[in-house]
Copies of this chain bind each other. A is one copy, B any other.
């Protein structure tokens, strides 16, 4: 594993730098990407901030989000490339991998335990709350620029990936970083309004559909929902609308594991699973279907139709939940 000193030295000596994060970007992907990219730009570097997919609508408020370009698949002439929050290189996306194909050095900064330490300079901290927290520590310890826009992006990364400081990976360092950023002028309440109180009304429609259609099994220890094309059309759903919906299902006291199945445009089914008990490893279940993630939060893409995918996934999940019997 490469140290922040080693990574900092490479970034300081490089001039053309690419920065990317995983497909279907979430708050930690976009926030850590912008946090690092904006700092490098402040340093006078030629920075390419790229993502395979569009930034979802609910994150378009993030400062300088327009700096991110969608990957076009053409190899960039880069001294260094940084993959952020991306558990394996393929999760960057095909076009993004092509953009990075000729990079001099591939740096891999991530907090997913399943990360195989790919690239020339991997730095993986499975105990870090978020990749946003790791980027803050990198910038701070290497004396790299930290502007208000960078603080805002890193706050979004940390806040979303910790479920607003509730998940177990939240550490004293997480809170200390937020305190430091606030003391430097960061307005967190405004960001929280944008993040958590600015959903389109159709979000409540989706939630209503979920509450009407959710199904309990395994003695009410598993709750699941099948989000179909029909519901998406009826609610005029756009990507990002489902973010965090699963937390509402998780709330129930008897529930140990929650999973949402979602029809994808390509006919595949996305399964997003959460566990509330460290003994129940949803990443192991997702791995059986070619997916992965963390013990308590993981996902997989499955073959349709959605009802068949749900049936075989739930069978495996029920086996996993039996661990706590």
Contacts and interface: CB of A to CB of B under 8 A. Distances in A.
Interface of A: 163-168, 170-176, 178-180, 182-183, 188-189, 192-193, 196-201, 203-204, 207-208, 211-212, 214, 216, 220, 248, 250-255, 276
A171 B166 contact: no
5 contacts: A164-B164, A166-B188, A176-B176, A201-B254, A204-B248
Contact of A175 (B171, B179, B214, B255): B179
A246 to B, nearest CB: 11
Contact of A251 (B171, B196, B220, B252): B196
B176 A179 contact: yes
B164 A197 contact: no
A253 B276 CA distance: 30
A189 B167 contact: yes
Contact of A196 (B166, B212, B216): B166
A149 to B, nearest CB: 19
B200 A252 contact: yes
A292 to B, nearest CB: 22
Given A172-B178, A175-B182, 6 more contacts: A167-B189, A167-B192, A172-B183, A197-B276, A200-B253, A201-B220
Contacts of A165: 164-165, 178, 188
Most chain B CB neighbours (cut-off 10 Å) among A163, A175, A208, A220: A175
Nearest to A187: B168
Nearest to A193: B276
Given A200-B252, A211-B207, A166 B192 contact: yes
A197 B250 contact: yes
Contacts of A189: 166-168, 170
A211 B248 CA distance: 13
Given A170-B188, A176-B175, A212 B208 contact: yes
A198 B253 contact: yes
A198 to B, nearest CB: 4
Among A192, A200, A203, max chain B CB count under 10 A is at: A192
